[in-house]
Structure 1
Amino acid sequence: MRPYSYKAGDTPLIISIPHAGTYVPDDVLARMTEAARTLPDTDWHVDTLYNFATTLGASVLKGNYSRYVIDLNRPPDDTPLYPGMDTTGLCPQTLFNNDPIYQPGQEPDSAEVRRRIETIWAPYHQCLGEVISEKLGNHGYALLYEAHSIRSVIPRLFEGRLPDLNLGTAGGKSASSDLENRLYDICQAAESFSSTRNGRFKGGYITRYYGQPGNGIHAVQLELTQCSYMNEDYPYEFLPHRASRIREVLKQLIECMLAWQPSQN
């Protein structure tokens, strides 16, 4: 299995989808618990939700492996993204509900973690870095949109119900404030959907590492509640009628990014 799938577009925009992958090698799957084998913490159907983006000229990069094998949105040294808060790591060993991913004694050792970094994590980031450089060369700037989704209620990670649209810019550090404000205006105007920015989810490693507005790279993350487009319980079915409403909001966000230029800031 290739570490990623990539479709090139001719605009400055790159959509990164690191957590929608579901592939788990057989030798890893055999060591996982029954609950983990259903991959409950996957960003289910996010690639389907944004399948309109390539027709608008966006480039789309999607990870093919499950985040349980390796999390592409964590730093390779596994430094916590939110110090002092509970979160999951580079090669997680627990589900979002704190149940184990692996059967007792079957967790990956340091050598296996290194192999996963070299064969899955590194190729994804090499491709992303190359595409960003290409966009900078062709357009003078690059726009990176991190597409994510999550269950609306996860007591381990946040209290109560998560807002539907969670815009993150690493606390304003990863993108132009003008771009951030325009995107957040769209989120706030979305009827029937709640929103916040730089709340519980400010952006993961990809947003924080690649977002360098001073160098012409503007990165944002959108964490979307799964109840806004799918059934959050197994078998995690996509609900087209429900998804059509949130997809209209997502189209507005993508079109806003495509219309925006750094000179507007």
Structure 2
Amino acid sequence: MIEVTQGDGPLVLGLPHTGVYVPPEIAARLNETGRALADTDWHIERLYAGLIDGVTTVRTRVHRYVIDVNRAPGGESLYPGQNTTGLVPLTDFDGVSIWRDGQAPDAEEVEARRAAYHAPYHAALAAEMARVRERHGFAILYDRHSIRSRIPFLFDGTLPDLNIGTNGGATCAPGIAATVGDACAASGYSTVTDGRFKGGWTTRHYGRPGEGLHAIQMELAQSTYLAAEAPPWSYDKTRAERLRATLRAILETLSDWRP
């Protein structure tokens, strides 16, 4: 369920939410809302494909409704006091239940899923971060995400196009946040750093700049590259090509960064 492509550069690209695989025994317990898999990071792997050579990628094929590999393994909230979804979500991003009545997993099952799907993803990611740091003296994790631009259950109003997460600057060197911020500011897209999304568990866990491990999250509004933020979640090539130019600039500047 874990796909790893090794590169020789300093960048490691995470893909935690593009997978759509749900084991049949779990899919049977999802209700109609859950089976729609609406909270997928649609087409992110296609959007970033071929933008830059030499990068390492780590991806899970498992859908976030099975278990969310970007949540803390202990289940604690990353955004206390705000609506969010958990390690194994009980609702979708609109706050609507995704499980058939009485079919939501209990604590024992959540732990089994953590061991089966969450732990292997992070074992692979940690191994690649260590390998890249050994080669270059540092490693940069760029965690790739996307989300609908309007979700009242999670945030007010419309999300900016490009949302950079560094947990208040704690997860990467200032120069990394600055180079990404500058590329976004020059793009013509709306952008914010550490707004509603400050970086998920992955960014916060791996971002240890003092150890040569840097992490930054990019949360894209899906309006920037989808034909519509609704089924069938079609990829809009014209919108996507414009966005790809900005993403290429971001990855190139990160690849060129040195401590």
| TM bracket (short chain) | over 0.9
Mapped pair 1:251 → 2:251? no
Name which of 7, 10, 13 aligns with 1:9.
7
Name which of 153, 156, 159 aligns with 2:150.
153
**How many residues are paired up?**
258
Mapped pair 1:200 → 2:208? no
Is the 1:169–1:175 contact (alpha carbons within 8 Å) kept by the matching residues of 2? yes
Residue of structure 2 equivalent to 1:118 = 115
The CA deviation at 1:8 is: 0.8
- SS of the residue corresponding to residue 223 of structure 1 reads strand
Residue of structure 1 equivalent to 2:58 = 61
Name which of 12, 19, 31 aligns with 1:33.
31
The CA deviation at 1:56 is: 1.4
CA offset digits 1:205-236 (Å, max 9, x no partner): 00001000111011000000001001211011
Residue of structure 2 equivalent to 1:186 = 183
Identity of aligned residues (%): 44
The CA deviation at 1:182 is: 1.2
The residue correspondences of 1:220-259 to structure 2 (distance < 5 A) are 220-230=216-226, 231-259=228-256
The CA deviation at 1:63 is: 1.4
Mapped pair 1:171 → 2:168? yes
TM-score, normalised via structure 2 length:
0.98
Gaps of 5+ in 1: none
**What letter is aligned with 2:194?**
N
Matches of 1:42 and 1:90, distance apart in 2: 15
Matches of 1:238 and 1:256, distance apart in 2: 26
- SS of the residue corresponding to residue 32 of structure 2 reads coil
Name which of 97, 118, 137 aligns with 1:140.
137
Residue of structure 2 equivalent to 1:19 = 17
- SS of the residue corresponding to residue 242 of structure 2 reads helix
Matches of 1:136 and 1:96, distance apart in 2: 35
CA offset digits 1:233-261 (Å, max 9, x no partner): 10111111110011110000000100001
The CA deviation at 1:40 is: 0.4
Mapped pair 1:213 → 2:209? yes
The CA deviation at 1:152 is: 0.3
Mapped pair 1:84 → 2:81? yes
Gaps of 5+ in 2: none
**What letter is aligned with 2:230?**
D
The CA deviation at 1:66 is: 0.5
**Structure 1 runs of 4+ off > 3 angstroms?**
none
Root-mean-square deviation (CA), in Å? Answer: 0.8
Matches of 1:100 and 1:86, distance apart in 2: 14
- SS of the residue corresponding to residue 180 of structure 2 reads helix
Name which of 43, 46, 51 aligns with 1:45.
43
Is the 1:47–1:62 contact (alpha carbons within 8 Å) kept by the matching residues of 2? no
Matches of 2:179 and 2:139, distance apart in 1: 17
The CA deviation at 1:7 is: 0.8
**What letter is aligned with 2:213?**
I
- SS of the residue corresponding to residue 100 of structure 2 reads coil
- SS of the residue corresponding to residue 167 of structure 1 reads strand
**What letter is aligned with 1:141?**
F
- SS of the residue corresponding to residue 5 of structure 1 reads strand
TM-score, normalised via structure 1 length:
0.96
- SS of the residue corresponding to residue 229 of structure 2 reads coil
